[in-house]
């Protein structure tokens, strides 16, 4: 993917959680190519080290921080270290997530709480830690990665509920801190072909071929579809965008693609 970067992104600091692989990794790749200073917070040291090494060898200004976002002290330590290393955090992306595919009758309270800890509490704690700096500088862009699952029922019960709460948190931050010129938006991706799907691909290798028939644009998404939206919301090209659900889903939420031919009698 060739991105068109806003020039003012160069030199800005962006923090991406869960940037060791998949969508977060592509965000880091794009941000580094835009000459941003990139900090990745990631629990998996192996993927983190690999990604940081690869992006650095391509000329990127990228630093990794190992932290488990389920642990408040590790979040606060990582963010304090990043502020010390980079001076300030201008863009923060709450991307890390966990996904439990079970239906609610098979979801234990332990799994429900773990999902909410990573997908909902961690973004809350990260935002709480970075906001004072953004408020003091009267500037900041926070981007929460939500999901179409929080807009309609398509399975993954605890995951969908945890992300629905994240969508609500975006609105709270946007409205409460708009006066401080802190913008906060949710990106709402549809299906993106990443490693988080591996378990479902193992069960059904054709899962993306089935899913793509529901997408008006005829394909599932790529990590670069989301990375491009992140860089747009991070830039000065989106100065009046806050509190939004920025849908990047190939048209999935616009309607039920297989239904209209039956309604019109044209199927």
List residues binding ligand NAD (CB under 6 A).
17-18, 20-24, 42-44, 47, 68-70, 95-98, 118, 145, 147, 189, 191-192, 194-196
Q: Which is nearer to ligand NAD, 87 or 204 (CB)?
A: 204
Q: At what angle do helices 22-33 and 45-57 cross, to 10 degrees?
A: 20
Residue 56 Cβ, how far from ligand NAD at the closest point, in Å? 18
Please report how close the Cβ of residue 16 comes to ligand NAD at its closest, in angstroms. Answer: 10
In whole angstroms, the minimum distance from the beta carbon of 101 to ligand NAD comes to 12
Nearest to ligand NAD of 34, 97 (CB atom)? 97
Neighbours of 255 (CB within 10 A): 10
Which runs of E-coded beta strand occur in the chain? 13-17, 37-42, 61-66, 91-94, 140-145, 182-189, 245-248
Active-site residue, 3 included? no
User: Residue with the closest Cβ to ligand NAD?
Assistant: 18
Alpha carbon distance 122, 68 (integer Å): 9
| Structure tokens that stand for 158 in this block | 């605890």
Active site residue 163: yes
Residue 92's beta-bridge partner residues? 15, 142
Kindly state the smallest distance separating residue 96's Cβ from ligand NAD, in Å.
4
Locus of tokens 């579809």: 225
Burial class from Cβ neighbours inside 10 Å (0-12, 13-18, 19+) for residue 103 reads exposed
Q: Select 17 or 141, whichever has its Cβ closest to ligand NAD.
A: 17
Catalytic pick from 159, 177, 212, 232? 159
Task: Choose between 44 and 257: whose C-beta lies nearer to ligand NAD.
Answer: 44
All residues at 6 or more sequence positions from 31 whose CB lies less than 8 Å from its CB, including other chains: 9, 14, 16, 38, 227, 230, 231, 234
Active site residues: 159, 163
């Amino acid at each position: 993917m060739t991105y068109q970067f806003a020039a003012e992104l160069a030199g800005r600091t962006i923090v991406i959680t869960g940037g060791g692989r998949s969508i977060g990794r592509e965000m880091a790749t794009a941000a580094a190519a835009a000459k941003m200073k990139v900090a990745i917070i990631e629990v998996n040291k192996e993927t983190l080290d690999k990604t940081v090494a690869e992006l650095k060898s391509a000329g990127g200004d990228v630093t990794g921080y190992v932290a488990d976002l389920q642990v408040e002290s590790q979040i606060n330590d990582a963010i304090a270290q990043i502020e010390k290393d980079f001076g300030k955090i201008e863009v923060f992306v709450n991307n890390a997530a966990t996904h439990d595919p079970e239906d609610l009758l098979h979801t234990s309270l332990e799994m429900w709480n773990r999902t909410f800890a990573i997908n909902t509490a961690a973004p809350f704690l990260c935002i709480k830690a970075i906001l004072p700096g953004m408020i003091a500088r009267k500037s900041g862009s926070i981007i929460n990665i939500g999901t179409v699952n929080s807009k309609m029922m398509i399975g993954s019960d605890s995951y969908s509920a945890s992300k629905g709460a994240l969508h609500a948190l975006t609105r709270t931050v946007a409205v409460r801190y708009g006066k401080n010129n802190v913008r906060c938006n949710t990106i709402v991706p549809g299906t993106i072909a990443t490693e988080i799907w591996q378990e479902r691909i193992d069960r059904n290798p054709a899962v993306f071929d089935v899913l793509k028939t529901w997408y008006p644009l005829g394909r599932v998404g790529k990590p670069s579809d989301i990375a491009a939206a992140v860089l747009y919301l991070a830039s000065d090209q989106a100065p009046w965008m806050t509190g939004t659900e920025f849908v990047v889903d190939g048209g999935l939420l616009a309607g039920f693609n297989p239904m209209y031919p039956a309604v019109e009698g044209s199927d």
